[in-house]
Structure 1
Amino acid sequence: MMQTITFIALAIALASANPILAKAHMSNPHIRRASPNEWAPAGPDDFRGPCPMMNTLANHGFLPHDGRNLTQENVVKGLQEGLNFNTSLGELMFRMAIVANPEPNATFFTLDHLNAHNVLEHDASLSRTDAFFGSNHIFNQTIFDESRAYWTKDILDADQLANSKIARQINSKAFNPNYTFTASVENFSLGEIAAPIIAFGDMSAGTVNKTLVEYFFLNERLPAELGWVKKESPISQEDILSVVQMISKATSLTTGGEEEVPHASMVRDLHTGFSLLAQKEN
């Protein structure tokens, strides 16, 4: 089980007084480094999933580094420390993710649970191959290069990110005989595409520096060494909804009309670490 906050505080205090224990503390998969400047890739026995952001938070130690025992307590705390998500948004994300654990009345999930196809993981990812073709959770350079080919400017906007989403869906539908992309998948796919703007960009303008996004995907690492810092104001569900709506509009292939079809939906994304319940208004 995840150590309690009291035990963690005690361990840190002891580590400060003992260099040998400090080294052991840093290697303990259940104790966070809690800094975007501290990072270690997954070890051979660590779990990782199809979700670049959840993997990234584990690599930094904001979530258990071994990718196991993600409880509501440590998920909410990790999202606050790593990205400055407010408590209600963190709790909502956990509720969305817990469905990946097939055990009844589960109180935790692992990053490996997220690999189950068509539960939260889906076809047409920006950085993973479809499950039909093999590993659906390992970063795929070829797939990612296909996606970022549509990122044609140094500052990405909703249109460029949406274009990469549409292109991946077309490619997947054309070549994957088992292609599946339901309305529910579409909803949390929108969250996936919005994630770079939410984490690293300007949510009001709907823009993000391409260099930060590429660094994040390629390294599964927060781009602190490029100058990024987490947002000062806590990120709320309302903040995320506004960006998701930008992406949703940008994915439309119709032009010239201002009317939108009323759409009540659940917007969920664990592939980059964002999920929420959304009620889209007319």
Structure 2
Amino acid sequence: MGILQLFGKLANGAYVAAWDTSLTLANTLSSSRKPGQVTPAGCPGAGGQWPEYISPKEGDSRCSCPALNALANHGIIPRDGKNIKFTELGERIRETYNFGGTFCYFVPNHAAGLLNKNYATDTFDLAEIDLHNGIEHDASLLREDSALVPDQSKPHIPFIRELLDSATGKDANGKPILTIEDISRFSAKRRVEARETNPDFTLDRAHKTFGSTNASTLLVAFGGRVDDLETFLIEERFPEGWESRILSPMGMTFITFNITILKVERGIDEDKYIAERKAAAEANVEAS
């Protein structure tokens, strides 16, 4: 990286940090959005009315991210998942999931950099962002590792079922919800088992954090609600009447989001999972 590129990257990071701080402050000083009014009027999904869902057909481009695939499946971005503007993607994420402007700028801009494309002028296909150890990474909670299943466009249903079945929380109506502890425990399981089954397994600190970021989206945007997540993760479709659980008027900022992300990541204890698995195996042997 040249000195000018490095300076530009540092300056951009400082700009995003200052912007995020201002949005976080604005959120603390403003009233939250009211349930039923999270998606802006005039945008797809306003009032829980989502555009028609059409499952992807042969030749359509999809990726390992259910949040982006769902946008395409509902026609919020091009249904074929191709020739998407990076700038447009950020706007649609903002409107649909109510993430803050900083997140909705940083993520597409980061993806553009990984693909050696221009954020302001270029386009991309969803499948392009599955560059391994770019945004896609090993030990995903929703997909098998790309070394084992190169096509990352389709969810791995057994993982999703196991994740949702592990929910220990309950909402006010007694319906199951995933908790931070549930996500951390399942993440530990996936990391251990992926390392054992994938001979090309890699997961550096940055991608561990990125994995916890993806998992935390299930908690902040969906409130961990299993009923909604089942539809979203398996069909990559928005449930009827759904809207983001993020009520912040300026959207979810990095500063606020990082609180959940850090709790998830710090709670991931691979050694504990290994010990529990060993104890269970020994108990089964004794019982037999």
* TM-score under structure 2 length normalisation: 0.67
Contact preservation (8 Å) 1:33, 1:62: no
2-structure distance, mates of 1:145, 1:37:
25
Instruction: State yes or no: 1:143 paired with 2:159.
Output: yes
Deviations 1:68-88 (A, max 9, x none): 223232112201221122322
**Secondary structure of the equivalent of 1:229?**
coil
What pairs up with 1:147-226 in 2 under 5 angstroms? 147-153=163-169, 154-201=176-223, 208-223=224-239, 225=240
How far 1:136 sits from its partner (Å)?
Answer: 4.3
Deviations 1:142-177 (A, max 9, x none): 232343443344122100011111111111111111
1-structure distance, mates of 2:44, 2:114:
25
**Structure 1 pair 155–147 and aligned structure 2 pair: CA distance change class (3 A):** closer
Of 89, 103, 118, 1:89 maps to 103
Quote the residue 1:37 is aligned against: 50
Q: Return the structure number with greater helix share.
A: 2
What pairs up with 1:259-270 in 2 under 5 angstroms? none
Quote the residue 2:89 is aligned against: 75
**Structure 1 pair 237–104 and aligned structure 2 pair: CA distance change class (3 A):** closer
Contact preservation (8 Å) 2:112, 2:118: no
Deviations 1:85-144 (A, max 9, x none): 232221111112213424578733321112222222111111111122123412111232
2-structure distance, mates of 1:210, 1:67:
27
**Secondary structure of the equivalent of 1:74?**
helix
Higher relative contact order (CA 8 A, sep 6+): 2
Quote the residue 1:244 is aligned against: 261
Gaps of 5+ in 2: 1-41, 170-175, 273-288
What pairs up with 1:92-131 in 2 under 5 angstroms? 92-102=106-116, 107-131=122-146
**Secondary structure of the equivalent of 2:178?**
strand
**Structure 1 pair 134–155 and aligned structure 2 pair: CA distance change class (3 A):** closer
Structure 1 vs Structure 2: percent identity of aligned residues?
A: 23
Q: Return the structure number with greater strand share.
A: 1
Quote the residue 2:284 is aligned against: none
Contact preservation (8 Å) 1:147, 1:168: no
Instruction: State yes or no: 1:132 paired with 2:150.
Output: no
**Structure 1 pair 134–249 and aligned structure 2 pair: CA distance change class (3 A):** closer
Number of equivalent positions:
216
Contact preservation (8 Å) 1:148, 1:164: no
Aligned residue identity for 1:219: E
**Structure 1 pair 188–115 and aligned structure 2 pair: CA distance change class (3 A):** same
Quote the residue 1:65 is aligned against: 79
**Structure 1 pair 174–148 and aligned structure 2 pair: CA distance change class (3 A):** farther
Contact preservation (8 Å) 1:62, 1:79: no
